[in-house]
Amino acid sequence: MNTIKLLRKLAVRFPKSIKSRGDRIGLMTGKLPENVNTILLCLDFDDTVFDMLPSLKKKPDMILTHHPFIYGTKYRVFKRDPIKEDLCRRIDELGIPVYSMHTNFDTGKDGMNDALANALGLVDIKPLEKAPMARGGRLPKKMEIHEFARHANKCLKIEYSHLINAGKKEIETVAIIGGAGSREFLTAKNEGYDIFLSGDAPHHARRDIISNHYNYLDVSHEIEKIFMPQMKKILLEIDPTLNVEIIDHEKLPELISD
């Protein structure tokens, strides 16, 4: 498929205008080919993915990531990160461009947070009014809060999460942002959701959640791996003849409990 035509179709669904301020999306490095037949999807492009490229049946024409490969100008990023500079040089030598879709995919319809809300089995899903990147919905039936936390772990395919149990003991309405969205907990509370799910909550945010007598399930940033199957589905809707490969190599940190 013609590369520009494909990217324009993606841009209709996930325009740059809905990305977060200051976010870096689009072409990270390399030169876009005239046509793409094989696309590789990964959450982050790193050395592990690079080393796995020879194992693919076909060399990808483009690597499409969720998290930006180069967050900022190359000069500033490479000045503090020589490992990334070397990786960029090596992928450029292979002639494979890296393209990233981040908060525009998080916010857009059928993007990251719609996919996560659907994975939880929510119904009546909609964006939060004051935080349109987030999605809120309702469980088909109420759950005791610990039962819901175990349900969320299973649905989001993670081994563990961290629960702040300071609000309602039964959960019916749920809001979620993939990644690091803990700052939006008060918006979820004010809009009537019984619990808010996101990741990377710092200590002060956790204390604020407790002070507000609210529930929060801290789920790993890695739940955003749902980007790969969701983006593959979207790409194949655009062009069923595309060959879409996935490398899912990111694992949760090891949990030490003793």
**Angle separating helix axes 112-119 and 227-238, nearest 10 degrees:** 110
Give the number of domains in the chain: 2
CATH number for 172: 3.40.1390.30
117, 183: one domain: yes
Residue type, position 161, single letter:
S
Q: Looking at the structure, do residues 160 and 198 belong to the same domain, yes or no?
A: yes
Same domain, 126 and 176: yes
Q: Is 189 part of a structural domain of the chain?
A: yes
100/173 same-domain check: no
What does the pLDDT read at residue 61? 98
State how far the alpha carbon of 256 is from the alpha carbons of 87, 191, 252, in Å.
Answer: 32, 36, 12
Token output for 54: 């020879």
Same domain for 121 and 93: no
Query: Does 253 fall in a domain?
Result: no
Q: Is residue 205 part of a domain?
A: yes
Range of 82's domain?
3-106+224-246
Same-domain status, 137 and 53: no
Q: Rounded to an integer, what is the distance from CA 107 to the centroid of its chain?
A: 10
- If asked whether residues 90 and 125 sit together in one domain, one would say no
pLDDT digit string, tens, across residues 153-170: 999 999 999 999 999 999
- Angstrom distance (rounded) from CA 100 to CA 68: 5
In a domain, residue 25? The reply is yes
Based on the fold, state whether residues 99 and 125 are members of the same structural domain.
no
Q: pLDDT value at position 257?
A: 87
Query: Does residue 190 sit in helix, strand or coil?
Result: helix
Query: Residue written as tokens 């790409």?
Result: 235
Instruction: Indicate if 36 and 79 belong to the same structural domain.
Output: yes
Dist. CA 39–CA 15, nearest whole Å:
20
**Lookup result for tokens 């690597």:** 63
135-144 and 170-176 as β-strands: parallel, antiparallel, unpaired? antiparallel
Low-confidence ranges of the chain (pLDDT < 70): none
In a domain, 87, yes or no: yes
Query: Is residue 251 in a domain?
Result: no
Is residue 256 assigned to a domain? no
Q: What is the pLDDT of residue 258?
A: 83
Residue 258 maps to a domain: no
Q: Kindly report whether the global pTM for this prediction surpasses the value 0.95.
A: yes
Whether residues 134 and 213 share a domain: the answer is yes
In a shared domain, residues 141 and 200:
yes
DSSP string, 97-155: -EEE--HHHHHSTTSHHHHHHHHTT-EEEEE-SS-TTSEEEEEEEEEEHHHHHHHHHHH
Question: Is residue 50 a contact partner of residue 87, using CB atoms and an 8 Å limit?
Answer: yes
Q: Do residues 101 and 120 both lie within one domain?
A: no
How much is the pLDDT for 170? 98
